[in-house]
Amino acid sequence: MSPIKIAIIGAGPAGLMAAQVLCEAGYAPTVFDSMPSAARKFLRAGRGGLNLTYAEESTLFSSRYFEAEPFLLPALKTFSPESMRSWAAELGFETFVGSSGKVYPLDKKAAPLLRAWLQRLKSKGTQFKMKHRLVSWENDTWKFQTADTLQEYSFDKVILALGGASWPQLGSTGDWVKILENKSLIINPLKPANMGFNVSWSQIFKEKFSGTPLKNVTLNFTDINGKTHSKLGELLVSENGVEGNLIYTHSKLLREKIEQNSPLTLSLDLFPHRTEEKLKQQLSASRGKQSLSAFWKRLGLSGVRASLLREVLSKESLADAHLVAKTLKEFPLTLDSYRPLKEAISTAGGLSFENLDTHLMLKKFPDVFCVGEMLDWEAPTGGYLLTGVMGQGKQVAEALLKSFE
């Protein structure tokens, strides 16, 4: 009897986790990817410190997946945040919980962890075929374009882990959409997730403050369902507008609001630890011979915060202590639109769960499974995304193994 041929198409974290489960069970999957090396997006995401997961209570953690939560629960049960920490430890990388609940390897680096993971997979029989770009799926024939030829394969089982369409230079191009659309599968439009938003800054403000963090501010807005949101955090002023964790955390809700009615004006509290009355009192004090800028600086109002006021108030209004205090507490930040998908950290939209059974197998095509960012779900950047895709990789591989029983 010939060995069972299992293909995993996509060498990101979802595909690699599926490969791990299979090779540890004694099977030898073959992982295909269009890029020269595996998990390039995983490496890019880890540049600022590899956020593996979050140390949160399970109900709160699963709620981060919005309306897709019911579809992600099986994956999160089989691969929880605690499972992620155990997985890293088995590869020789202890983890720690940061002040915000984020979980990191001790060195915070992605590359050593990935190297150890790939070595483990190869040692247990996983095969890798890099620079193999999937170009068609016809009946049971899967065609891949290599550097110099078109290769055809047939498999007993296939796991598609094709990614989204953000950061396409790293391999996630979304080209799979056309291939699966030809199979009459339901695919919702791909959209940016965890992305920045456009703001019409003045030229002088952009030149001076692009790349500047705005720390300890509170973002306030109402979503399309009428629910109010208020969160303290940090955002980043960019040449095009705003980005950073405070923005990414709410990017889905902000995107939906803009799609409903743009532009969107939300409120920033630039001094969340001072009341409006206290600010009025401080700003109304006599400044003597001090310039306005020097007086503001003495009150802790300088740099990007002071310049934000100049973006929305006239020169004459800057001397109105009551108006300045009110503006500092309710700064009107107008988001014109969101940045394009190719710049986004991750992808919303994708293959609808309607196409899949409870094991993430295509209903129309038994023995073909789909996992990860190519599916229609999203979550805030970092550990939520990674835990979700790796959990689905494990979920699918375990389901595939049961089909052999």
Instruction: Tell me the per-residue pLDDT of 136-182, one tens digit each, with 9 for 90 and over.
Output: 999 999 999 999 999 999 999 999 999 999 999 999 999 999 999 99
Given this model, what pLDDT does residue 330 score? Answer: 98
Is the pLDDT score of 94 beyond 70? yes
Higher pLDDT, 180 or 3: 180
Is the pLDDT score of 4 beyond 60? yes
Percent of the chain at pLDDT exceeding 70: 100
- Cα 109 to Cα 388: distance, rounded to the nearest angstrom: 20
Angle (CA) 60-61-62 rounded to 5° is 95
Residue 22 pLDDT grade (very low, low, confident, very high; cuts 50, 70, 90): very high
Is the pLDDT score of 99 beyond 90? no
Q: Edge-to-edge strands of the sheet including 368-370?
A: 127-129, 30-32, 6-9, 157-160, 368-370
Structure tokens at 79: 């691969």
How confident is the prediction for the chain on average, in pLDDT?
96
121-to-27, 114, 118, 316 alpha-carbon distances in Å: 11, 11, 5, 67
Mean pLDDT of 123-145: 97
Is the pLDDT score of 228 beyond 80? yes
Given this model, what pLDDT does residue 234 score? Answer: 96
**What b/e sequence results for 59-94 when a residue is b if at least 16 CB atoms lie within 10 Å of its CB, and e otherwise?**
eebbebbeebbebbebbbebbbbebbbebbeebebe
By CB neighbour count within 10 A (0-12 exposed, 13-18 middle, 19+ buried), where does 149 fall? exposed
Given this model, what pLDDT does residue 1 score? Answer: 42
> Is-contact 183 45, C-beta < 8 A?
no
Structure tokens at 345: 């950290």
Mean pLDDT of 270-286: 96
Angle (CA) 117-377-385 rounded to 5° is 35
Residue 124 pLDDT grade (very low, low, confident, very high; cuts 50, 70, 90): very high
Mean pLDDT of 201-228: 97
Domains identified in the chain and CATH numbers: 6-193+346-402 (3.50.50.60), 197-338 (no CATH)
- Cα 201 to Cα 336: distance, rounded to the nearest angstrom: 11
Give the pLDDT confidence of 75-89 residue by residue, as tens digits: 999 999 999 999 999
Is the pLDDT score of 355 beyond 80? yes
DSSP H helices, 32-145, are 40-45, 58-63, 69-78, 81-90, 111-123
Given this model, what pLDDT does residue 2 score? Answer: 56
Mean pLDDT of 387-395: 98
pTM score, whole prediction: 0.95
Mean pLDDT of 300-311: 97
Mean pLDDT of 279-300: 94
